[in-house]
Amino acid sequence: MASESQNWVLVVTARTPTNIAVIKYWGKRDEKLILPVNDSISVTLDPDHLCTTTTVAVSPSFDQDRMWLNGKEISLSGGRFQSCLREIRSRASDVEDKEKGIKISKEDWEKLHVHIASYNNFPTAAGLASSAAGFACFVFSLAKLMNVNEDQSKLSAIARQGSGSACRSLFGGFVKWIMGKDKNGSDSLAVQLADEEHWDDLVILVAVVSSRQKETSSTSGMRESVETSLLLQHRAKEVVPKRILQMEEAIKNRDFASFAQLTCADSNQFHAVCLDTSPPIFYMNDTSHKIISIVEKWNRSEGTPQVAYTFDAGPNAVLIARNRKVAALLLQRLLFYFPPNSDSDLNSYIHGDKSILQDAGLAGLKDVEALPPPPEIKDNIPSQKYRGDVSYFICTRPGRGPVYLSDESQALLNPETGLPK
């Protein structure tokens, strides 16, 4: 390690998106390597609205690897962090920064320690896939710091060992995680099917549903499903392989009717597998079910799907509208059924891309109660309202993959000390 002094700190910052699966990953054939029982497909969400930012630093003055998540120090001793760190370190190459007089050789990386600070721009407690963006950013930023010369798919196979769904966050747009065949997992990786420009009409509304119940984690839930659900075996063998091909076709042709039909069917089958697990797992709640019936009723009345819904391991709904006009109509319907608590105004009820409020003609609306009932409710019986059952909405769209942030002001670690700012 050649350098003028031992006080230097080298820093890299990156930003990585989260993703929502439209063909679900549920079940591992290898727990340690995180190898799935079927392929899956996801849409990357716009990192402007949902993302993880991570700064990694290296310095000869650090005496151990340390990590901070949302400002709080957390342990790096878990097997998943250790797998990712080990895989990245073993691929590190020489690094030279002439300006700072830093020279790190390939062999030095085994002895050097890193500091990692990570921040989610959305509430971690909201049950939105924070581990996907988190592990993807962990691997992506360390790979840059350690000058790992591997393509994005190879990096995805490392992020996979942090959390399965994380491998799909290494790309923007539409992404497929190929399950692979190798025992060592080398061919279980993500590939991009289409970038975020390919189908940019789509608008995504996430309903963050209030929940009192502690949910079963994906990791233990899917383990129980693998052990006890016959439906999971049938799904992995007979259903998903065909759906993957159909979904790839639907995305390629921007065929919204097929895309929506497949997305909803796959979400419902995933939750059916959860019910088929012993003891059964309930991720959706009454609010989730209510949202499904609102969308189903509307889609049926239009004759062709306008909106797709999908739910992960929790009650939050991810709704994908075919275009902005439909998204505006969807928002009107959702606000009709799920008005905000009287103490919150629309501006704090809708997060992310707030321009949807203008599009829906709701920007100046004082009283959501004034919204008329959607026309597909034909009877005159006033429909029930579910005030407070949705905490808030996030409006977003398909988005780009990971990026490095060169602007030092965006770093989460102090470039002099390597400690959180």
Closest contact distance (angstroms) between CB of 123 and ligand DP6 is 17
What residues between 40 and 69 interact with ligand DP6 by CB under 6 A?
40
What residues between 91 and 130 interact with ligand DP6 by CB under 6 A?
129
Closest contact distance (angstroms) between CB of 180 and ligand DP6 is 14
Largest CA distance in the chain: 80
Nearest residue to ligand DP6 by CB is 164
Closest contact distance (angstroms) between CB of 202 and ligand DP6 is 18
Among 205, 313, 330, 346, binds ligand DP6 (CB under 6 A): 313
Beta carbons within 8 Å of 356's beta carbon, 6+ residues apart: 203, 205, 324, 327, 328, 331, 350, 395
Among 33, 34, 50, 159, binds ligand DP6 (CB under 6 A): 34
* 61-95 b/e (C-beta count within 10 Å ≥ 16 → b): ebeeebbbbeeeeeebeeebbebbbebbeebbeeb
What is the token pair recorded at 304? 């062709």
Separation between Cα atoms, residue 208 and residue 319, nearest integer Å: 11
Q: 402, 16 in Cβ contact below 8 A?
A: yes
Chain mean position to CA 20: 5
Binding of ligand DP6 by 163 (CB under 6 A): yes
Among 60, 164, 173, 398, binds ligand DP6 (CB under 6 A): 164
Selected range binding ligand DP6 among 20-28, 146-154, 330-338, 413-421, rule: CB under 6 A: 20-28
What residues between 185 and 224 interact with ligand DP6 by CB under 6 A?
218-219
Among 165, 263, 285, 310, binds ligand DP6 (CB under 6 A): 165
Among 25, 109, 298, 337, binds ligand DP6 (CB under 6 A): 25
Closest contact distance (angstroms) between CB of 110 and ligand DP6 is 27
Question: What crossing angle do the helices spanning 324-337 and 286-302 adopt, rounded to 10°?
Answer: 130
In the complex with ligand DP6, which residue's Cβ is closer, 312 or 389? 312
Q: 176, 187 in Cβ contact below 8 A?
A: no
In the complex with ligand DP6, which residue's Cβ is closer, 26 or 337? 26
Residue with tokens 């309202």: 385
Binding of ligand DP6 by 131 (CB under 6 A): yes
Closest contact distance (angstroms) between CB of 63 and ligand DP6 is 30
Among 10, 11, 12, 21, binds ligand DP6 (CB under 6 A): 21
Among 312, 321, 349, 357, binds ligand DP6 (CB under 6 A): 312
Closest contact distance (angstroms) between CB of 163 and ligand DP6 is 3
Selected range binding ligand DP6 among 116-124, 162-170, 273-281, 352-360, rule: CB under 6 A: 162-170
Q: Transcribe 286-352 into DSSP letters.
A: HHHHHHHHHHHHHHHHHSS--EEEE--SSS-EEEEESSHHHHHHHHHHHHHHSPPPTTS-HHHHEEE
In the complex with ligand DP6, which residue's Cβ is closer, 55 or 218? 218
Selected range binding ligand DP6 among 23-31, 250-258, 317-325, 396-404, rule: CB under 6 A: 23-31
Burial of 419 (0-12, 13-18, 19+ CB in 10 A): middle
| Size of site (CB under 6 A) for ligand DP6 | 15
Separation between Cα atoms, residue 171 and residue 148, nearest integer Å: 17
Q: 13, 412 in Cβ contact below 8 A?
A: yes
Chain mean position to CA 149: 25
Name the residue among 15, 29, 40, 161 with its Cα closest to residue 90: 161
Binding of ligand DP6 by 171 (CB under 6 A): no
Written as one letter, the residue type at 10 is L
Selected range binding ligand DP6 among 120-128, 163-171, 353-361, 402-410, rule: CB under 6 A: 163-171
Closest contact distance (angstroms) between CB of 5 and ligand DP6 is 41
> What's the sign of the alpha-carbon dihedral 357, 359, 362, 368?
negative
Q: Which residues pair with 113 in a beta bridge?
A: 59
Selected range binding ligand DP6 among 21-29, 98-106, 146-154, 256-264, rule: CB under 6 A: 21-29
Chain positions contacting ligand DP6, by CB under 6 A: 21, 24-26, 34, 40, 129, 131, 163-165, 218-219, 312-313
